[in-house]
Structure 1
């Protein structure tokens, strides 16, 4: 039986859209079939596009929520005493648009001066659609007692404590900095910095867990990175002229500094994520900002005021910095004071096209919602569950947290790797060990705006290489390795990290952000060897489709496996899928389905299928199958109606590297989906390779995979 949860904001500025996004993500993580509904659109001043929450959900998930009614339409019916007609239409749209869901998250209206009827209408809608109500609030500057009283007043307006449909509250923005009007600070500028005592006073809200009149279903701390806009968002708000676009679409702004002082007194503000605002005729600031960028500091952007375009000779001097560092530079006509006023009116809400920020908000908020409550929402549901991408990523991080393994990262001074190491510690995924010069690693971290905590272990290779010479000679004595050659090979940090793994000083190794696949896997093949019973090393990719996760193997290691090897790859891949929560239904891919085709390539797949079935009768394996027959139910019905795999395959085994690698890249790029891998299978200890184009999150999840593999092998 499906359930409906309506989020009802208590007052304005509580961040109900962010909470809605997090609630949807929390459901997805647990494999819940979820939908979303915003009954009535409530555009804010300046909004000109479609309703924000509904559009963001559509863009960020595989959900297709029904359209909301416009505010004008709702107001016309309410003012004409036709509220009952409005409610009937809301119910009809709700039922037709969300009928296939386990849980529907409904976002209520925010009570404002323009919409004083919001609370009453929220209550009527909740009753009409049979929703359970969850209040959303923020502490403001209230003490825990004042917040308790505010929640009690809200409860009384919705039927009081006797109303069993009121099930709890979510407290958002705990610890947020506030302005003098008790509002969450609306701007980024340093002149609005609050004393630390004021920003921390509402942390008393944590005491609410003991005396809240309602069950607290989530307590979400303030996180400034959730409100960091892109440089392009500020440019659009200010109608700026772009002098150098650079990384304007991706650079995040976390602070604003007005450069009114001399350079020596401003240098400390030249830091990652800072928007530097200066008059366009301050050539000293422009050159200094470009120099800082050339030194690796990712300044958010440079904003030139007064309609002063930099002199041509200054532009020539800074040309290389603008071409190579991605520093966005923009110009506006207003003076510094007028600019500061305009910045205060900047809308800090999430743009509907900012996928990175939406993802960050969803994951962060979901991580602070009571997961035990989420699990209760679908008890008894008969709807089938798929391991969606959010559920898979959550499953990975939870498994990795539980085992807490040590993972060595040979590319220790590579910027993405440094960021990933920091994130792994923050999320408790693993203990990352960075190999590299400590001073260089710390410099890279500072340039990226990353703070490396004690949980990130840094090892200087120069200080430890010598102790691995003798063990390495012992491991390779059958190949005639000498101390001189071993010492030379250990100059390669991948070899050094592999020796640490061989000596059981770490649990796994992740490399490949700057090394080739061959550079990453050759040392482990020589020093770690294959696992007992494994005849070869193969690989899989986890393909994160919009509504489920598929496994592709082998797309990275074996160029042209024979039938025996292909059977091994199928069995390894099926076991890996099961180990990560994916029910393995293995499709042996070919250009022919069943007995419809012939040729050596098809015969190899047919023979491999037979071998794998005989070796592992417990697995569901079928082939040869064409890709469309393996994945599409309607095609499967005509091409392979009796197949236990066709139309519902979760593991796809390709006949050779050419087919597998081409298919994985074509699907990944054409569908713009995330793939995690390659994850190596068959090694005695886990070693995993990265794509050289890997993003920070790709590295984080590969580290998580490696930690889980290490736990399973031990």
Structure 2
């Protein structure tokens, strides 16, 4: 069983950083403390941070300082060997690795990038370091543009060479393979691991979007100024066009995804590019690079400034047009730490082609029983993917919703339906450079379901004074239409609220989906991810002053939510006194709620009234309520009112640096969840995953 791994590529541009992302995420599902270590990096020790280290530290929030993550630069290592300090080099690398091994549950190492002038030196030093560290190797071969009869023998030679050097090959991943030949590649490779068992072998097909540079990459590569479209820098680039002709001739060469390179004083080309993005007759270019350090004329800038939602990014670079174009010819796409679209693509591709169960079975058997925030977030994605549900997103004109939808589709988290008018949604998708071809786009007014939906709503609500005309109008509202989709089974859940109010999300759900049998209210919980466990806090978002009956229902709803997300419910009904020590109307309300909850759901461990310290701290619990099954080890905390709950969850979030996921609505017959209008794209991704898991249950 392995508790350390060393990822080594056989050549440059093998997509090794994508493999590091996938393996690290896989490890963090089981191990609480994982370190990342590169014995030798390509860059400067004092200058710019190493790309892969920065990517991993930023994405996974590892508890490490940058200085701990590497030992030497490639130039330093070569100099030490030339000076006869080969042994010292290896000893220092091993010493730094051992320091990490003593502090962490698992250490993932990564080899060099093969971007130097001496690939043979890097090949040998990687093998030697891995042998001296005594850890198994994941070999990453580059399958880009190679036929099977070339790729298989070259990969086999690499495997045999590393085996002859005394390395244990844990897995071989042939990356960037031409689609359609994956199975032939896997079947053609022979590799043995410890004990004679076959090493794991995978082939991952090429995803062109990972190798394509983005407009943001170009901005960094040229050190260019972003004039417009700083929220569209993740747009991928398929090709480059140098625009030297007049605009009428230039437009004949426009291609989808092309980056246009032109002098900054060519106003006709700039306006032509903008016009092409707004015209359905021409493909969408990715952006513009203005050369010569020339700012557009003031009138041109004024014209662009007045364009609502500037439709494409514009950069300004120093240097003449030929120089800029020549520099860009050497640019290749990398996965940057701030490019969540590429990260999602890399993780989704890895998950789709690497059998995680086989992989994890060969790792160290003793896994952490504790749950970190990242471990919990990954478990959400895994649970949602295990039984994909269809989630409807009624806010099709929200850029954050569309960005989240792109990530969700790339990760394979859920099937998605997006509501909105195609004439409004499709240009926004194009402007943002997203791929939502896997989502269903529905305009409620033109849907085949519209008549059935409004007539059903009319029958539900006519006793409340709703007329046929009102029902028709109401069902044109995306939130009402989306809610009816869930009720009718055409979607399994709905997520809304990024640009609409909580009432606009919850009211249709109460009218159409209604509460579960035996429940009179809808409530909410936050999933509070602390450093070593997940707690459930309710109700912190919906009910201001619940009575005893409602408090009991909130407790039961919260317990079922906890179970759905893998948290064993031990319910603490909170108050300002513990046990029989206090009196007053609020304490009596909690005592009554405890009595009702135990009668309604005797299967749950439930205690109250409890003070927060007695509920969470074993030492306090031993003094105030000895022998309790809940006190000191509660996992579900039920607050007596919204004022207490909302302030407490925010206090814990800030003071304990906890990740608060939610609010998660509960008590409805089918899942609907409300977003904060200040939510991030990551919040939306998590909420859709949560909604999908609720739908599974």
TM-score tier (shorter)? 0.7 to 0.9
Q: Deviations over 1:497-540 (max 9, x none)?
A: 33344344443333323321111111221222211122321112
Per-residue displacement from partner, 1:272-310 (whole Å, max 9, x unpaired)? 975432211111233345567789999754321123322
Shift of 1:325: 3.2
**Equivalent of 1:456 in 440, 444, 456:** 440
Q: Gaps spanning 5+ residues in structure 1: where? A: 176-199
2:292 match? 306
Q: Point out the more displaced range, 632-641 or 517-526.
A: 632-641
| Higher alpha-carbon deviation: 145-154 or 627-636 | 627-636
Q: Is the 8 A contact 1:280 1:305 kept in 2?
A: yes
Q: Is the 8 A contact 1:435 1:461 kept in 2?
A: no
Secondary structure of 1:277's counterpart equals: strand
1:116-140, Cα deviation, whole Å (9 max, x unpaired): 4433333333333321122111114
Show the counterpart of 1:226: 210
Distance 1:706 1:153, change over 3 A: same
Give the superposition deviation at 1:106: 1.7
* Residues 265 and 33 of structure 1, relative CA distance in 2, 3 Å threshold: farther
Query: Does the Cα contact within 8 Å between 1:421 and 1:432 map onto a contact in 2?
Result: yes
1:147 aligns with 2:132: no
Deviates more, 1:306-315 or 1:448-457: 448-457
**2:97 aligned with 1:97, yes or no?**
no
Q: CA offset at residue 28 of structure 1?
A: 1.7
Deviation of residue 579 (structure 1)?
A: 0.9
Question: What are the within-5 Å matches in structure 2 for residues 412-491 of structure 1?
Answer: 412-418=396-402, 420=404, 424=408, 427-453=411-437, 456=440, 458-463=442-447, 464-491=449-476
**C-alpha offsets along residues 202-247 of structure 1, whole Å, 9 cap, x if unaligned?**
x5454111111234543333334435656555334323345x3652
Q: Distance in 1 between matches of 2:619 and 2:344?
A: 33
Matched with 1:284 is 268
Distance 1:663 1:697 in 2: 23
Contact 2:664 2:673 in 1 (8 A): yes
Confirm or deny: 8 A CA contact 2:524 2:541 kept in the other structure.
Answer: yes
Query: CA deviation digits over 1:431-466, x for unaligned, max 9?
Result: 433444344444444444445547625354345433
CA distance change for structure 1 residues 12 and 473 in 2, over 3 Å: closer, same or farther?
closer
Instruction: Pick closer, same or farther for the CA change 1:589–1:119 going to 2, 3 Å.
Output: farther
Instruction: Assess, with a 3 A threshold, how the Cα gap between structure 1 residues 53 and 452 changes in structure 2: closer, same or farther.
Output: closer
* Structure 2 residues without counterparts, runs of 5 or longer: 192-198
Q: Distance in 1 between matches of 2:279 and 2:650?
A: 35
The residue aligned with 2:3 is 3
Asked whether the equivalents of residues 304 and 330 of structure 1 are also in contact (C-alpha less than 8 Å), the reply is yes
The alignment's C-alpha RMSD in Å is: 4.1
Distance 1:13 1:226, change over 3 A: closer
Alignment partner, residue 338 of structure 1: 323
Give the 3-state SS of the residue equivalent to 1:526 in structure 2: helix
Residue 523 (structure 2) aligns with: 538
C-alpha deviations, 1:169-204, integer Å up to 9, x for none?
Answer: 1112224xxxxxxxxxxxxxxxxxxxxxxxx7xx54
Alignment of 1:40-439 (within 5 A): 40-44=39-43, 48-64=47-63, 66-71=68-73, 74-75=77-78, 77-99=80-102, 101-110=104-113, 112-114=116-118, 116-160=120-164, 165-175=168-178, 204-214=181-191, 215-227=199-211, 231=215, 233-241=217-225, 244=227, 246-247=229-230, 250-255=233-238, 256-264=240-248, 275-289=259-273, 301-321=287-307, 325=310, 328-346=313-331, 348-351=333-336, 358=343, 361-362=346-347, 364-378=349-363, 380-381=365-366, 383-418=367-402, 420=404, 424=408, 427-439=411-423
Contact conserved, 2:573 with 2:609, CA < 8 A, in 1? yes
The equivalent of 1:683 in structure 2 is: 668
**Native 8 Å contact 2:229 2:310 kept in 1:** yes
Equivalenced residue count is 681
Indicate the residue corresponding to 1:191 in structure 2: none
Distance 1:567 1:104 in 2: 46
Q: 1:603-614, aligned counterparts within 5 Å?
A: 604-605=589-590, 608=593, 612=597
CA shift in 2, pair 1:2/1:557, >3 Å = same
Distance 1:283 1:702 in 2: 44
Is the deviation greater in 523-532 or in 579-588? 579-588
- What's the offset of the Cα at 1:376? 0.6
Distance 1:516 1:380 in 2: 47
Shift of 1:42: 1.9
Aligned to 1:194: none
Q: In the alignment, what sits opposite 2:478?
A: 493
Question: Which whole-Å CA distance do the structure 1 matches of 2:265 and 2:426 have between them?
Answer: 34
Q: CA deviation at 1:27?
A: 1.6
Q: Using the TM superposition, give the Cα deviation of residue 633 of structure 1 relative to its aligned residue in structure 2, in angstroms.
A: 8.1
Superposed, 1:488-527 pairs within 5 Å as 488-527=473-512
Query: What TM-score do you get using the length of structure 1 for normalisation?
Result: 0.81
Q: 1:21 matched to which residue of 2?
A: 21
CA distance in 2, matches of 1:482, 1:435: 24
What is the CA–CA distance in structure 1 between the aligned matches of 2:122 and 2:623, rounded to whole Å? 53
Match of 2:194 in 1: none
Aligned 8 A contact 1:148 1:213 in 2: no
Contact 1:431 1:457 in 2 (8 A): no
Partner SS state of residue 140, structure 2: strand
Q: 1:311 to 1:113 in 2, by over 3 A?
A: closer
**Paired position in structure 2 for 1:556:** 541
The answer on whether the counterparts of 2:572 and 2:608 sit within 8 Å (CA) in structure 1 is yes
Q: Secondary structure at the match of 2:563?
A: helix
Distance, in Å, in 2 between the alignment partners of 1:108 and 1:41 is 7
Find the counterpart in structure 2 of residue 36 from structure 1: 35
